[in-house]
Amino acid sequence: MMGVEHIHALGALAGCEVVALCDPHHESLDRAGAALASSPPPIGAGSSRGTSVARFNSVDDLVATCDFDVAVVATPNFTHRAVLEPLLHSGAHVLVEKPLCTTVSDCREVIALEQATHVRGRVVWVGLEYRFMAPTMRLLEHSRNGELGRLRMVAIREHRFPFLQKVGDWNRFSCNTGGTLVEKCCHFFDLMRLILGSEPTRVFASGAQDVNHLDEMYDGKVPDIIDNALVIVDFASGARASLDLCMFAEATKNEQEISVVGDLGKVEALVTEGVVRTGLRANGWFQCEEDRIGHGDVPASVLQHGAHHGSSWRQHMAMQSAIRKGAPATVTTHDGLMSVAMGEAAHRSIMLGRPVLMSEILAP
Ligand SMILES: NC(=O)c1ccc[n+]([C@@H]2O[C@H](COP(=O)([O-])OP(=O)(O)OC[C@H]3O[C@@H](n4cnc5c(N)ncnc54)[C@H](O)[C@@H]3O)[C@@H](O)[C@H]2O)c1
């Protein structure tokens, strides 16, 4: 799924051409090839896509025989660590889908390898692309420019449909995904850190698998992925954040709603509708400005094919710009690690029934 979204996003990126596809699953390779063939020709070139693209079944073969500048890793979460190994050794720039890995210890190993294989100007970027949704970007501007005063609370609500079907049903088991609060919610933990400009200190969560996938069976096993949770996070700045996740809430207008409150005012983003509201306490009740920003400048070909309001395309533009300028990644492997660590802390809190200190999770 995500590989195809990336292909369509890259198709709308000037100066970029997909030169190879890699997947051990033939049907996925065919689907990716079809997506590539249906994309418009590379911007600035005249040829059609998808005909001369090399195909590989293993990343080792890809690295051994193919000449490429950037690799995009959109494989199941539990494979990220192994897939990244040859790619990091190759010296190519890498965008790896979230979560960076399924555990903090795997994230640390990847970061150690990134450092050991350091190449000047090489960009390693984690695909936490909710940062690049137009309403989220606007919310970040309002949160960080001082107009809201000192930031005190962040509330994020995601009410949505259940997890989709994946190739080989890997996302039905926490050992493959890292658990719902790592797999899905790393996006929101990343946003909390970014909005507040502070680090989490303590996480308290309650959650369960109450409704979804209980009637499914894979190799004799029932899925073990939670489908609803409430998570509270304390930050070093004194701010607190909450996440309200429900994955059996199809009857929802805005899949994500994000609210940030400072001592002077508030901003909220209704992501699906593309609405951002801001207001200052000094102006009193109901004095909010409502901006219907939609999803910004995203090309129609991208919006049509992506499930993330064009954020993958914006993310690729940001990464391309960093590569060209020799600038570091905006979304680093450290960001990837922290978003996984917060999810891991939330899962541990549910298991133990008590708050978990981030220092417990991040201890060497
Ligand atoms: N950023 C987002 O919002 C977002 C949304 C969905 C998925 N994702 C992430 O994207 C990644 C892929 O998810 P998906 O939904 O596309 O899953 P998917 O099951 O639809 O596709 C994964 C593909 O990877 C292939 N694969 C498995 N092992 C491989 C290997 N060693 N080398 C090459 N290919 C391999 C599979 O055959 C499959 O075709 C996951 O990490 C997932 O968490 C991110």
Give how far Cα 108 sits from Cα of 121, 191, 333, 334, 357, Å.
21, 21, 9, 9, 19
What pLDDT is attached to residue 41?
Answer: 66
Distance 285 CA to ligand 1 centre (A): 46
Helices (H), 129-235: 134-144, 174-177, 180-183, 186-196
What pLDDT is attached to residue 102?
Answer: 98
Distance 161 CA to ligand 1 centre (A): 19
- CB-side neighbour CA atoms (13 Å) of 315: 32
What pLDDT is attached to residue 302?
Answer: 87
Residue for token pair 């292909």: 7
What pLDDT is attached to residue 46?
Answer: 42
Give how far Cα 223 sits from Cα of 109, 163, 212, 215, 340, Å.
28, 11, 9, 9, 21
For residue 82, give the ligand 1 atom closest to its CA. Answer: 31
As given in the structure block, the two tokens for residue 22 are: 């890699």
Distance 114 CA to ligand 1 centre (A): 21
What pLDDT is attached to residue 65?
Answer: 96
Q: Helix, strand or coil for residue 76?
A: coil
Residue nearest to atom 7 of ligand 1 (CA): 2
Q: Are 225 and 182 in contact (CB under 8 A)?
A: no
What pLDDT is attached to residue 47?
Answer: 44
Residue nearest to atom 15 of ligand 1 (CA): 1
- The H or E element containing residue 268 is strand 265-270
Predicted TM-score of the model (pTM) = 0.96
163: Cβ contacts below 8 Å, ≥ 6 apart: 171, 172, 184, 212, 213, 225, 247
For residue 164, give the ligand 1 atom closest to its CA. Answer: 15
What pLDDT is attached to residue 51?
Answer: 56
User: All domains of the chain, ordered by start, with CATH?
Assistant: 2-128 (3.40.50.720), 130-298+333-362 (3.30.360.10)
What pLDDT is attached to residue 43?
Answer: 59
Q: Cβ atoms within 10 A of the Cβ of 42, count?
A: 18
From 23, 100, 130, mutation site for ligand 1 pocket: most ligand atoms within 8 A of C-beta: 23
From 167, 189, 191, mutation site for ligand 1 pocket: most ligand atoms within 8 A of C-beta: 167
pLDDT tens track, the chain, 364 positions: 999 999 999 999 999 999 999 999 999 999 999 999 987 666 555 444 545 799 999 999 999 999 999 999 999 999 999 999 999 999 999 999 999 999 999 999 999 999 999 999 999 999 999 999 999 999 999 999 999 999 999 999 999 999 999 999 999 999 999 999 999 999 999 999 999 999 999 999 999 999 999 999 999 999 999 999 999 999 999 999 999 999 999 999 999 999 999 999 999 999 999 999 999 999 998 899 999 998 888 888 888 877 799 999 999 999 999 999 999 999 999 999 999 999 999 999 999 999 999 999 999 8
For residue 28, give the ligand 1 atom closest to its CA. Answer: 39
Q: Which residues pair with 242 in a beta bridge?
A: 155, 232
